[in-house]
Amino acid sequence: MASGLSGEAIRIFLLCTVWFTVSSTNNVITKRLLNKFPHPVTVAFVQVFSTALFMGPTLVLWRVPKNSAIPKTTFYKFIVPLSFGKALAAVSAYVSIWKVPVSYAHTVKATMPIFTVVLSRLILGQKQTPLVYFSLAPIVLGVMVSTATELSFDIVGLMSALLATLTFAVQNIFTKKMMRELHISHLRLLSILARIATVILLPIWALYDLRKILTYSDLSEENILWLLVVITINGFLNFVQNMVAFTVLSLITPLSYSVATASKRILVISVSLFMLRNPVTIYNFLGMLMAIFGVFIYNKAKYDANRAAHHLPMHNKDTKLPTPSLTNGHLNHINSHVHDRRPHYHHI
């Protein structure tokens, strides 16, 4: 049992290491690509298409079992909207990286817990503890300070980063829901979402960016070769990043995943500041630290709230225990149901 848990923890740690490294590298490459090739819709389309393209051979080589047929109601109610969200998140994320520094874009994305709390209240009707609500304050304050002192501030970049964050928050909630309810492999689900997102983005890219690219006068033969090499590497890294992120999401709880995402964001901000050397003020840097610190406070508050909610019925004197008159089969069903609902946390 202990060795199994330890092996799983090591696996998650290695996956997170690959995820963090690829994500940091890909963000730097994407920023440099967009500086010379200012077409974020094209970059988003190539990256979504790359994921759909590379996932096919991966599923075959890894012998990922095929999923059962997805009901039409579920397909149109959840899968298609998730695919649209994937396309929207890709475009808005690259517009934000194009318009503002990578460090600022990821600082704004640290507001994801705020969207998660609001969406959980509106969609799931979940109420949070006062400490959880209090933990959102440093996130808001940190992003406000970082925004007010950002030397390269751009309103389009800010709104795009917020839109990407909102979309990612919705995706995380419903992707986990689909994997659990459809009993589908996370890689199969990623492949389906990427293929549909590619179909959604294709006409948008053709109408919006293709016309501009065909009349782009600065594309010499050398520039075309450089562009093809860089955008291919960028697409492959995005495929690896998506695959590893979906794998991590399938192995751990949403809470642990949010901790991993916050840790990744710190590394992306640090690497981008070092590699891209975008100008920052001391107040801008402190605002980034405050926002990320608020995310960790939020994660800790959510962990404590979830653990308290789990243990509360055990200490409630008014709670009635099941009567012994239940049959063994029924009692075992109840016990297994309670066991399945018990939260599991992994060390990352």
pLDDT, tens digit, 9 for 90 and up, residues 289-301 = 899 888 888 888 8
pLDDT of residue 317: 41
Which parts of the chain register pLDDT below 50? 1-2, 314-348
Domain count, the chain: 1
The CA distance from 138 to 202, in Å, is 40
pLDDT of residue 254: 66
Query: Does residue 263 form part of some domain?
Result: yes
What residue has token string 């995310």? 295
Closest CA to 108 of 256, 242, 292, 263: 292
Which residue type occupies 4?
A: G
Query: Does residue 141 form part of some domain?
Result: yes
Q: Are 84 and 138 in contact (CB under 8 A)?
A: no
pLDDT of residue 63: 85
The CA distance from 256 to 249, in Å, is 9
CA distances from 319 to 90, 309, 324, 333 (A): 48, 14, 15, 19
The CA distance from 115 to 105, in Å, is 16
Which domain does 247 fall in, by range? Answer: 40-213+223-309
Q: Are 184 and 67 in contact (CB under 8 A)?
A: yes
The CA distance from 237 to 64, in Å, is 21
Q: Are 234 and 46 in contact (CB under 8 A)?
A: yes
The CA distance from 92 to 231, in Å, is 18
The CA distance from 120 to 298, in Å, is 14
Query: Does residue 21 form part of some domain?
Result: no
Model-wide pTM > 0.75:
yes
* DSSP designation for 243: H
Query: Does residue 165 form part of some domain?
Result: yes
Query: Does residue 98 form part of some domain?
Result: yes
Query: Does residue 118 form part of some domain?
Result: yes
Q: Are 212 and 98 in contact (CB under 8 A)?
A: no
Closest CA to 224 of 46, 36, 97, 35: 36
What residue has token string 């419903």? 174
CB burial of 306-338 (b: ≥16 within 10 Å; e: otherwise) equals: eeeeeeeeeeeeeeeeeeeeeeeeeeeeeeeee
Closest CA to 16 of 251, 255, 214: 251
Query: Does residue 185 form part of some domain?
Result: yes
pLDDT of residue 258: 72
Query: Does residue 19 form part of some domain?
Result: no
Which residue type occupies 134?
A: F
pLDDT of residue 177: 80
